[in-house]
Structure 1
Amino acid sequence: MTSASAAPESGPSDTRPIDRVFRAALFDMDGTLIDSTPAVDRSWIRWGQEWGIHDSFREGMHGRPARSLIAELVAPAQVEAALARVQQLELADVDGITVLEGAAELISSLPDDRRAIVTSCNRDLAPVRLRAADFPAPSVVVTIDDTPRGKPNPDPFLEGARRLGFDAADCVVFEDAPAGLAAGRAAGCFTVGIAGTHPAHELDADLVVRSLTQVSVRLVDGGFTLVVAP
């Protein structure tokens, strides 16, 4: 794991380039591009109270598909009802969802055919949260409904790369959660972890940054390179 807080290489711009060309970028949504944590916490706390589940279940939940988490907490016959209820709560609560610093600038600096959002939200919730944050969404958005398995399996990022027409090994993944980074790594992508939802030492990634304000892209023939500020 490489930390962006390490001493950068010397240069006129005091930045550190990543020495490879990427074809496309695959962005997680919650915790990476937008901050929906307060809304997520409110919804899941209320859900847990309604279902009589101790609040400790939320430890490590970020970045995981709702269905897989719920399947560990309720009886098999209750999964569908429990999932429907938490989705109802999340769709109704979008107060305070904001764009994370540097996110809009970074994704907007890439051509639309070289960027995608890959989220564990379902296809109903993802656009609701993006609209609430007034976030400039790309044309390609992959949700949990689009693949048979969610993160930490590689399927979501493989699907994002496929829709853009590139090999996943030529893509860079931006993620804030261990489960998402594991999915990106399993897909063969270069991984960038963004500290915040989880501390930097919990993020197993090729590169870890404090925020997306540290990252910019330089367009080149065939794709782009990453430049990391200290």
Structure 2
Amino acid sequence: MTSSPSRTLAAALFDLDGTLIDSTPAVNRSWIRWGEEWGMTPDFREGMHGRPARDIIAALVPEDRFEAAFNRVAELELADVDDIVVLDGAAELLGSFDDSRRAIVTSCTRPLAAVRIAATGIPAPSVVVTVDDTVRGKPDPDPFLEGARRLGVDPRDCVVFEDAPAGLAAARAAGCFTVAVVGTHQAAELDADIVVASLADIVVTPTEGGFTLQTR
């Protein structure tokens, strides 16, 4: 772990899958079935974690088949919410922020984010930014810029909690402070200001005008 920032931060932006919740079994089942139906080789998703489904599919199928392919994987993912769990420390950390200072920023579609949040019962913030809310998804900065905008804060005063290189790249491009959570990727693969084994390692201390972070 690196040292924590001494300055006050204004808001926290959380990735969803792999950061707050683990939907890996459901995601794998859906995408494996999709890949089999669409004739993909078993390694077709390699290096794609954290990127929007539409970007993955656009790289794999011809443009004239994109809508059918995207709709099918969306159908499969929406139907499978088994084995989705809240990750260690996630609910506690998310709940430690006032609602005006927290948001979820995910590469999921709006319906998929809603289904997965409901399946886990995690305390969802009022602001949830999905891939449907920006033209460009992660690794572009647009999703985190939109999250900061909706909270009414400067993105440079936000901390982003992420588990994927694509999400961390988006956060850095937005000017945010970054905290990486090891799990879907090893620590050596995660370029962040702080790297932790789980969100349980983060301690939030309220201050006038925001909060500071510490690591256990």
TM norm. shorter chain > 0.5:
yes
Give 2:20's aligned residue: 33
Give 1:157's aligned residue: 144
What is the alpha-carbon distance in structure 1 between the residues aligned to residue 186 and residue 144 of structure 2? 23
Give the 3-state SS of the residue equivalent to 1:117 in structure 2.
strand
Task: Give the Å deviation of 1:18.
Answer: 2.8
What is the alpha-carbon distance in structure 1 between the residues aligned to residue 166 and residue 176 of structure 2? 14
What is the alpha-carbon distance in structure 2 between the residues aligned to residue 106 and residue 20 of structure 1? 19
- Matches of residues 38-187 of structure 1 in structure 2 within 5 Å? 38-187=25-174
Give the 3-state SS of the residue equivalent to 1:58 in structure 2.
coil
Give the 3-state SS of the residue equivalent to 1:226 in structure 2.
strand
Checking the alignment, whether the CA contact within 8 Å between 1:119 and 1:144 is kept in structure 2 is: yes
What is the alpha-carbon distance in structure 2 between the residues aligned to residue 96 and residue 197 of structure 1? 16
Give the 3-state SS of the residue equivalent to 2:137 in structure 1.
coil
Counterpart AA for 1:122: T
Q: What CA deviation, in whole Å up to 9, does each residue of 1:25-83 have, x standing for no partner? A: 00000000000011000000000000000110121121100011101111111111100
User: What is the TM-score normalised by the length of structure 1?
Assistant: 0.92
Larger radius of gyration: 1
RMSD between aligned residues: 0.8
Point out where structure 2 has 5 or more consecutive residues left out of the alignment: none
Counterpart AA for 1:161: A
Q: What CA deviation, in whole Å up to 9, does each residue of 1:198-225 have, x standing for no partner? A: 0000001111111101001000001000
Give 1:12's aligned residue: none
Checking the alignment, whether the CA contact within 8 Å between 1:18 and 1:228 is kept in structure 2 is: no
- The match for 1:209 among 185, 196, 199 is 196
Percent pairwise identity = 68
What is the alpha-carbon distance in structure 2 between the residues aligned to residue 213 and residue 77 of structure 1? 45
Checking the alignment, whether the CA contact within 8 Å between 2:4 and 2:194 is kept in structure 1 is: no
Task: Give the Å deviation of 1:17.
Answer: 4.7
Number of equivalent positions: 216
- The match for 1:218 among 197, 201, 205 is 205
What is the alpha-carbon distance in structure 1 between the residues aligned to residue 106 and residue 42 of structure 2? 24
Counterpart AA for 2:97: L
